[in-house]
Amino acid sequence: MAATQPEKKISLPSKIFDEMAKKYENGLGGAQNDIVRALLSHSKENHPIDSNSVIHDNACGPAVATSEILNQSIAPPPKIFATDYAQGMIDITNSYKERRGWDTVTVQQMDGQALSFEDAKFTHSISSLGVFMFPDEKKGLSEMYRTLKPGGWIGVTSWKDVRWPTAAIAAYEKLFPAAEEPLILPILKNWMDPESCERNLRQAGFHDVKAEVVPCVNRQLSKEIGASAFVEFLRHVSPTITSWDESTQERFLAYYSNLVEDMFSPAINGNGVELTLYAIVASGRK
């Protein structure tokens, strides 16, 4: 048996994202920004952001969508509410707000499954690589629906293929060929193809829904640096791995790390290495 999604979704406590906050930003090597730019192009076509927009960046991480929106230099900038349940992510977002003079950005620690905003507050509600991993993603989407104005725009993203699970499964099969239990990974089957993402949005009440697969690039200085972020992530998120003793964990993660390193190839621009990942961007209207 190779790998499986658990019956019940793996609930990742905010502590994990607190610990990963500093590494997260570099760990995806800018792929997260490629994804948000693709998502924002949907908004441009259907419900453009302007100075009067009131935007929620939900599960903002290190202010990824917020930064990309403000990089568009809309004058005056729109109001953005950036929220996340992990204090580490909130601290980074606050430091950007201060350093970059983001006067129209409000930063708040908040669980996306229980937003403290009033109904119909936002013109745009964005959750990039966020709501799909909430323990109760239906509640997350219904909170996004509740807090959007009628006619407002929702944009969410998820992973089609983040690449590291293939290496994790290969390492498990190689090191534990007789394992009776599958390697449990947070693989999110109902968010892994555009049709499922569209269905999730429709079921939450949104219309004019569309979703597509977009490539994005994880750019790193070296393949060792690139692999180390994926090692740290997997170390924390697989209940199978956390149940092992330390030496088994290290043996497995070293093997997995080598497999991930081999996935990177020299960067096209000659600087460092890169790995193409595949995301899904999905959007709709309330």
Q: Which stretches of the chain bind ligand SAM, using CB under 6 A? A: 14, 17, 32, 36, 59-61, 64, 84-86, 89, 111-113, 128-130, 133-134
As a whole number of angstroms, the distance between CA 280 and CA 283 comes to: 10
Which H/E stretch holds residue 248? helix 246-263
Minimum distance of ligand SAM from residue 174's CB (angstroms): 28
Minimum distance of ligand SAM from residue 36's CB (angstroms): 6
Residue among 23 and 199 whose Cβ is closer to ligand SAM: 23
Minimum distance of ligand SAM from residue 69's CB (angstroms): 12
| Residues facing 126 on adjacent strands | 57, 155
* Whether 30 contacts 2, CB under 8 Å: no
- Give every CB contact of residue 258 below 8 A, 6+ residues apart in sequence: 227
Residue among 59 and 70 whose Cβ is closer to ligand SAM: 59
In our burial notation (b when 16+ CB lie closer than 10 A, e otherwise), range 223-250 reads bebbbbbbbbbbbbbbebbeeeeeeebe
CB 25: neighbour CB atoms within 10 A? 19
The strand pair at 273-285 and 3-4 is best described as: unpaired
Minimum distance of ligand SAM from residue 32's CB (angstroms): 4
CB 188: neighbour CB atoms within 10 A? 16
Residue among 123 and 127 whose Cβ is closer to ligand SAM: 127
Minimum distance of ligand SAM from residue 64's CB (angstroms): 4
Residue among 14 and 196 whose Cβ is closer to ligand SAM: 14
As a whole number of angstroms, the distance between CA 229 and CA 235 comes to: 10
Residue among 100 and 251 whose Cβ is closer to ligand SAM: 100
Minimum distance of ligand SAM from residue 61's CB (angstroms): 2
Q: Strand ranges (DSSP E) for 12-147?
A: 54-58, 79-84, 105-109, 122-128
| Residues facing 220 on adjacent strands | 273
Minimum distance of ligand SAM from residue 248's CB (angstroms): 27
Residue among 152 and 155 whose Cβ is closer to ligand SAM: 155
Residue among 41 and 265 whose Cβ is closer to ligand SAM: 41
**Residue nearest ligand SAM, Cβ-based:** 61
